[in-house]
Amino acid sequence: MVSADTLEPSVQPGPPSAEKPLLSVEGLTRVYGKRIGCADVSFELFPGEVLAVVGESGSGKTTLLNCISSRLAPTCGTVHYRMRDGASADIYKMSEAERRYLMRTDWGFVHQNPIDGLRMTVSAGANVGERLMAVGNRHYGNIRRAAIDWLARVEIGEDRVDDQPRTFSGGMRQRLQIARNLVTEPRLVFMDEPTGGLDVSVQARLLDLLRGLVSDLGLAVVVVTHDLAVARLLSDRMIVMKDGRVIEAGLTDRVLDDPRAPYTQLLVSSILQV
Ligand SMILES: Nc1ncnc2c1ncn2[C@@H]1O[C@H](COP(=O)(O)OP(=O)(O)OP(=O)(O)O)[C@@H](O)[C@H]1O
């Protein structure tokens, strides 16, 4: 359970606006046999808001991300998503086809390892273009133009449009995966350690790029990271997990500058000492 002083009432209902939450997670629990993946997690995410989920290895971040992105059925609890028509839908009561459509259009998922989110044996342009085709675009010229535009936005030159991502560096692959996800202008993007596994200098550039895109497109994002610097740079709010539970939640600057839970204090101070 999260104690009252680690959860600020002012941040729990989200930003002070009349907007309704895009994502509402209530009492989400996932167990693997006797092991807890995540337990009793509740939060709301508002349009255009970036939420970081932080915690050490094994704290339940990936389990939570998979449950809220409809990749892993929770043991109990609910996840509601506000559709474009304003209706709130329980993602686990949708048909498989509805869920897939959502994942292709309104949602994006950026994997830590770009190989998991790209098709390695088709061209970079096709990787981006096929997401557009999946939402009904048919005009080859327009699709190619949009793909080239998006490659430019993620700093991949037009001369690489016909190259396969297996010929790209790790950083380029990750930027391509981001373009593939964002080309359909999703409203919500899930990111699992998006800068993990990259060199520090590449990470910094990618983070900058991501921050710009998220703000330009007004994206709502749930980003899982064990890196507090990533949380600081990208997120408005954060939740800290330990042993599958949320032990602290609040505005990112508040949590990092004035952590209240002893575990968060330890996490923050251990990073600062590095
Ligand atoms: N498929 C699985 N079968 C059994 N237990 C699992 C499975 N996946 C995760 N767990 C357990 O659930 C708990 C949370 O794991 P999870 O992968 O969600 O944590 P994490 O914070 O994402 O860790 P990491 O940062 O290392 O990826 C851990 O105790 C883990 O051993």
ipTM of the complex: 0.97
Question: Residue 225: beta bridge partners?
Answer: 54
Q: pLDDT at residue 135 above 90?
A: no
- For 82-123, what is each residue's pLDDT tens digit? 999 999 999 999 999 999 889 988 999 999 999 999 999 999
Give the tokens for residue 116. Answer: 């998991």
Q: pLDDT at residue 16 above 70?
A: no
Phi-psi region at 54: left, alpha or beta (left = phi > 0; alpha = psi -120 to 50): beta
pLDDT at 172: 94
pLDDT at 228: 93
Confidence band (pLDDT; 50, 70, 90) for 138?
Answer: confident
pLDDT at 250: 97
Confidence band (pLDDT; 50, 70, 90) for 4?
Answer: very low
Mutate to test the pocket of ligand 1, among 36, 54, 62, 267 (most ligand atoms within 8 A of CB): 62
| Alpha carbon distance 271, 234 (integer Å) | 17
Domains of the chain: 4-106+187-273 (3.40.50.300), 115-185 (no CATH)
Q: pLDDT at residue 5 above 80?
A: no
Contact 114, 175 (CB under 8 A): no
Question: Residue 35: beta bridge partners?
Answer: 32
pLDDT at 9: 42
Average pLDDT for the chain:
90
DSSP H stretches of helix in the chain: 61-68, 96-105, 124-134, 140-153, 170-182, 200-217, 228-234, 252-257, 262-273
Query: Whose C-alpha lies nearest to ligand 1, atom 6?
Result: 32
Give the tokens for residue 132. Answer: 């557009």
Give the tokens for residue 162. Answer: 């016909």
For ligand 1, the distance from its centroid to the CA atom of residue 243, given in whole angstroms, is: 10
Mutate to test the pocket of ligand 1, among 28, 31, 35, 228 (most ligand atoms within 8 A of CB): 35
Q: With the C-alpha atoms ordered 237, 83, 119, 135, is the resulting torsion angle positive or negative? A: negative
Confidence band (pLDDT; 50, 70, 90) for 45?
Answer: very high
